[in-house]
Structure 1
């Protein structure tokens, strides 16, 4: 499905993440010992969900012939009383959508591929590779 590689660039926690021809810098903020040169790991987590949210809703709206106009999703995360991660999405579109269309978009967003995987969890394995 997907494949990425991360390589340490040296200073503190700055790393380059590559997927095919694309690259992103990951880092921690200065308050955590990083350089603040890129997205922190949980920012990347929310970024993947926001990208899937925007792409899925844009595809759905286009299929239905709805004009979203400029679409924006604002995501935030926090921990609940028992420490479980809670992600909240706020969706915005400049297009003139009806209440019924918005209700359908809110139903669709609950079933985006990344939303479903994040809710179900994933099996994660690790192994040692050659140097």
Structure 2
């Protein structure tokens, strides 16, 4: 079994705020002011969306490099949605500076469904929790 990612969070004085450490990186997490936070950092579901779009961008760039394709500059964005019935879903959108052919557009969409984080989010994931 391999560890593919790690992070820890330490509470800060402000309600809902925390300092996240992952390797040599430091990030802030918080809730928006509308939820009683200070909006000093990303909220938890923002991190979920960020992980998905980061993985999507990296995977597409790796594929393009491997196949010697010119995707050019592009943007990936995501929104996490939930409704009163308990359904949850993510809307992911890609925008390319230069239009892609219909064939390449379909290939990009296919690759997006196969990114590692996409696969993780699409299947059931076990989370084991313990107190240290």
Write the distance in 2 (CA, Å) between the matches of 1:17 and 1:69.
33
Tell me, what secondary structure is at the counterpart of 1:3? coil
TM-score (norm 2): 0.92
RMSD: 1.3
8 Å Cα contact 1:80/1:86 also seen in 2: no
Runs of 4+ in 1 over 4 A off after TM superposition: none
* Equivalent in the alignment of 1:46: 49
Deviations 1:51-105 (A, max 9, x none): 0011101111111111121110121121256322110111112245311011101
- Aligned pair 1:21/2:28, yes or no? no
SS at match of 2:85: coil
Unaligned runs of 5+ in 1: none
Any unmatched runs of 5+ in structure 2? none
SS at match of 1:77: strand
Matching residue of 1:104? 107
Q: How many residues in Structure 1 have an aligned counterpart in Structure 2?
A: 129
What TM-score do you get using the length of structure 1 for normalisation?
Answer: 0.92
